[in-house]
Amino acid sequence: MTYDQFKSSLSQTKPPKGISVILQALWYDANKNWEAAHDIAQSQEGTESYDRLHAYLHRVEGDTWNAGYWYRRAGADVFKGSLKEEWEFLVESLL
């Protein structure tokens, strides 16, 4: 799946079949279902990629302190760009 195909899928009622669980979470986030995305992030706490997703989601929520905690847990630097840029970065890195 390409980035453009993933973006196009955002108009569907469900995430596309065959994508990773973390991409599903980013799909839910883009469709304003933060809770579903957060549930996915919490499902595998302690796994680097899930902790990285968790950091982004807390940044979306506006909880920068908690986001910082999850960036540290993921071994990642705090993302310096916009939320849109971080979402795009995460999606592209997972495709």
Determine the distance from the C-alpha atom of residue 86 to the mean position of all C-alpha atoms in its chain, rounded to a whole number. 9
Token pair belonging to 44: 């595998």
The amino acid occupying position 65 is: W
Give the span between the Cα atoms of 56 and 64, in whole angstroms: 9
Alpha-carbon distance of 22 to 77, in angstroms, equals: 19
What is the structure's pLDDT at 10? Answer: 98
Kindly provide the b/e burial profile for residues 51-82, where b requires at least 16 CB atoms within 10 angstroms of the residue's own CB: bbbbbbbbbbeeeeeebeebbebbeeeebeee
pLDDT along the chain (95 residues), means of 10: 96 96 98 98 96 98 96 97 98 96
pTM for this prediction: 0.95
